[in-house]
A and B are shown apart, each in its own frame.
Chain A
Amino acid sequence: MLFNSIDFLFFIVIVLGIFYLLPQKLKMCWILVMSYVFYATWNIKYVLLLLSTTVVTYVAGIGVSKRQEVDRSQTGLRKIIVAITVIIGVFAIGFYKYADFAVGNFNRLLNIAGSSKHFEVMEIIMPVGISFYVLQSLGYVIDVYRGKIEAEKNILIYGLFVSFFPQISSGPIGRAGDLIPQFRQKVVFDTDRIKDGLITFAYGLFLKMVVADNISIYVTRAHENFNTVSGMELLMAVILFSIQIYCDFYGYSLMALGCGRMMQIELMQNFKQPYLQDSIRGFWRGWHISLTSWFTDYLYIPLGGNRKGKVRKCINTMIVFLVSGLWHGAAWHYIFWGGINGVLMVLEEFVRQPIESFVRKLKIATDSKAWKLTKIAFVFAMMSFAWLFFRADSFGEAIYILKSIAHDFRAGWFLTQNCFDSFGASLNVVIILVSIIVMTVVDYLQNTGRDVKRMIFGQQTVYRWLIYLLLLYVIVCWGAYGEEFEQTRFIYFEF
């Protein structure tokens, strides 16, 4: 069940309606049951996997915690419990996500070695959200082990932490310390939070259905015909994909956030205007924050972080980004994408100071808006370059596209009729252009510390309602859905 489907609309109305009618004691049980129902709509067989992940990490949490209470000297045993849990979790992700990838690569190696032996791929259907809820529950066990939080005794509350439906399919990867206490708090029918949740959800829907899905028509067509369309159309597709993936995933995250808020649960912010940052580091501080911070806390810091010198820091950064690439998908182009980002981060680390001193010598006003804009554009270009490897179906396709762009590059093309014609109907250009402008303005306002929601809520009733109705109208009328457009899953559902 996708957030941008009618099914979900009915689902959330029923869930919320009953949620607020039920007595406090039953509210979270209801959400737990509905979370499992939500998950079962994807594939009922994998409910067992979700359940077993919950039970294994719940027991591990208790085990780690009890040891802590009884005998603090037995850290070895606690370490073993954590290690076994992590291995089970990684194995679960590995089996469902990477088994076929591994078999395929092994076959390729055998082929290179001249062997005629060939192993059949298993064609495993990956359970939705496995990469998210396994990481979330492993984070919980590690946090209990580290003594950051107490182990949760109530399996229903813990089960809800793992399976909470707004976040189960694509995050944000929550932290037990933030979420579990919220599941215990008294829920009141707080209309301000519900309103906030509704508008957050609606804006997420706008980003997904109006911006991302309309752009995806262009991008998909360009990638499907990458060897026949012009280099400039491919360049446009590369630029647009950067916006598409942002609006797709940010849109999903906002919908998750909105749903949670309507139930008085505050999920982690997953994005912070990444494309308005003027450094690669800044971009990653604002992109998929819950995953980046998870990798920082549970991989980068245990590897030594930045505490063991610059070289070690760079190596750790590379490891984190390569793992992140692999986490995104079982294909080499994802790993390569992770690698590019790692290299960009490392390069930035090394060249930042020389560039700053060079800029000072040139007497460029570094605090000017033009300079900041230049840096933002540069970061966007770098990220778009990296996203190309993420979006392409193969490494070869990405290289072909790059060559095609280099061969056909004409900056003036963007102002020609051909550019407009490549979008098909003129309405498509208007929709994409206007929606990107709206998204950019909202991001800009947020980035400069202004709360757009508060600005809307502060308007007079008439203007406020006009905004609500306009948003609704734009989603219904400009959204890409219906018979001529196959409903797309969120890109991050694949991970």
Chain B
Amino acid sequence: MEKSLNKQDSSILNSKQKNFLFKCVVMLCIIVLYIAHLMPQYENTFTATLVDKVDRLCSIDGPKIVLIGNSNVAFGFNSELIEQEMGMPVVNMGLYGGLGNLFHDNMIGYNVHEGDIYVVSHCTYWNEGKIENYIAAWATVENHKELWKLIPKNEYISMVKSFPAYVKKMSVNHSSMKDIGAGEGYTRDIINEYGDVAVQREHKASSERRDIWAPITSAAEFDVLNEWNRYLEERGAKMVVSSFPVYYDNWPSDDAYMDTYQQDLVDGLDCDVISYWKDYAYPKEYFYDTEYHLTNEGAEVRTKQLIEDLKAWQNAQK
């Protein structure tokens, strides 16, 4: 009898215990509501341009050219010119290096059509999907659920761990943009309808850094891109790799190193590498505020080179 009473005691919560659990739930709800009230906090910053880019990407029903990569892509092309020359709509998906290559690669999966051409231009091929700046990643995806799938699966835990830091930033330091890869003037409205950074850009001394890293490659990174290449080919689309702009005046490695790097790309990737790095090597005057961001003039030169490379590649396909 006593045993059964004890059993009953332990299985049924008394009102005090129920009340406690209810309060815990209410507390959690308050926290969730507070965070929901704060989000989205970075709708006007550069990283929020991704929302517009994805909108454009998803809105194009038919073959298109999609430029994939970090901010070297956003600051590096005149998509309108590409569209005129290639006769296909163009979307510039270039965003921010701190988000990692895989984050950018995942943009490929949004809206694939037969005949699409995905031009990938990473500055290096080694980071194996790592997000370098988690606060920036949170500030980018915020509560835009359609962007959450860009987070690499192996980064879910790190993203969860960095969530309090993002909440803290939203609550206390939301106006400081530098740590989310958006310095002064990096706002959502600096891009045009294609996704290119379209503001006037002249050479700045801040681009003349000496601690530039030469690109390196890794098999894991190639595996990711080859997987995407297969995915695209199955849907009748194509992936090609093009060079990033090389700050030739300050470049840390010699030409032989870069030739080896180029050969590694050709050997390791299943898709075509359509450009030769040296065609994208520019003097410092072509660089805007960092070693990968081009001035308007630099972007113009690079765009023409890409068009030339794309046409040559298309001709070779025929």
Query: Are A and B subunits of one complex?
Result: yes
Interface positions of A (Cβ within 8 A of B):
5-7, 23-24, 189, 191, 194-195, 427, 468-469, 472-473, 476-479, 481-484
Task: Assess the B13–A476 pair: CB atoms within 8 A.
Answer: no
Task: Assess the A191–B16 pair: CB atoms within 8 A.
Answer: yes
Task: Assess the A194–B135 pair: CB atoms within 8 A.
Answer: no
Asked whether any CB of chain A lies closer than 8 Å to the CB of B161, the reply is yes
Residues in A whose Cβ lies below 8 Å from that of B133: 483
Asked whether any CB of chain A lies closer than 8 Å to the CB of B201, the reply is no
18 additional A-B pairs beyond A191-B17, A477-B172, A483-B162, beta carbons within 8 Å, are A5-B161, A6-B161, A6-B163, A6-B164, A189-B13, A191-B19, A427-B172, A468-B27, A469-B27, A472-B31, A476-B167, A476-B168, A477-B171, A481-B164, A481-B165, A481-B168, A482-B135, A483-B134
The verdict on A7 contacting B165 (CB below 8 Å), with A469-B30, A472-B31 known, is: no
Closest to A195 in B: B20
Closest to A431 in B: B172
Task: Assess the B162–A476 pair: CB atoms within 8 A.
Answer: no
Chain A interface secondary structure, helix, strand, loop or mixed?
helix
Closest to A461 in B: B23
Shortest CB-to-CB span from A426 to chain B, Å, is 13
Residues in A whose Cβ lies below 8 Å from that of B168: 476-477, 479, 481-482
CB < 8 Å: which of A6, A469, A483 contacts B160? A6
Asked whether any CB of chain A lies closer than 8 Å to the CB of B56, the reply is no
Residues in A whose Cβ lies below 8 Å from that of B13: 189
The verdict on A483 contacting B27 (CB below 8 Å), with A6-B160, A189-B17, A191-B16 known, is: no
Question: How many angstroms from the CA of A483 to the CA of B133 in the assembled complex?
Answer: 8
Shortest CB-to-CB span from A263 to chain B, Å, is 16
Closest to A10 in B: B160
Question: How many angstroms from the CA of A24 to the CA of B16 in the assembled complex?
Answer: 21
The verdict on A482 contacting B162 (CB below 8 Å), with A191-B16, A472-B31 known, is: yes
Task: Assess the A476–B30 pair: CB atoms within 8 A.
Answer: no
Residues in B whose Cβ lies below 8 Å from that of A469: 27, 30
Shortest CB-to-CB span from A480 to chain B, Å, is 10
Shortest CB-to-CB span from B3 to chain A, Å, is 12
Instruction: Give me the 3 closest cross-chain CB pairs, A-B, nearest first.
Output: A482-B165, A191-B20, A6-B161
Asked whether any CB of chain A lies closer than 8 Å to the CB of B114, the reply is no
Residues in B whose Cβ lies below 8 Å from that of A427: 172
CB < 8 Å: which of A23, A194, A477, A482 contacts B20? A194
Closest to B18 in A: A191
Question: How many angstroms from the CA of A195 to the CA of B27 in the assembled complex?
Answer: 13
Residues in A whose Cβ lies below 8 Å from that of B134: 483
Interface residues of B in 149-205 (CB under 8 A from A): 160-165, 167-169, 171-172, 179
Question: How many angstroms from the CA of A479 to the CA of B160 in the assembled complex?
Answer: 17
